[in-house]
Amino acid sequence: MINILIFSITLLIYGIILRIFGYSYKTFILVVINAIMGLIALYVLKLIEIPIKINWISIIITTFLGLPGVVIITIFSN
């Protein structure tokens, strides 16, 4: 439950940063889709028992970077 809260807060902050720099809502929607896909991939990897720690740092990395963030977390988790 706390992971969803951290994900939502990070996504809100990311959206505010995008609006400050003048990006459109279309860009924000693409970022949200990428972040959700990354979060789903993170939990799928955890489900198939790849040794990944899901903590607040990995959630923030996944929110900002999406699927490439999951790859980075997977590489550095060993």
- In this prediction, residues 45-65 reach a mean pLDDT of 89
Q: How many CB atoms lie within 10 A of CB 26?
A: 8
pLDDT value of position 24 = 87
When divided into structural domains, the chain yields a total of 1
- In this prediction, residues 35-48 reach a mean pLDDT of 92
* Domain that includes residue 22, residue range: 2-76
SS (HEC) of the chain = CHHHHHHHHHHHHHHHHHHHCCCCHHHHHHHHHHHHHHHHHHHHHHHCCCCCCCCHHHHHHHHHHCHHHHHHHHHHCC
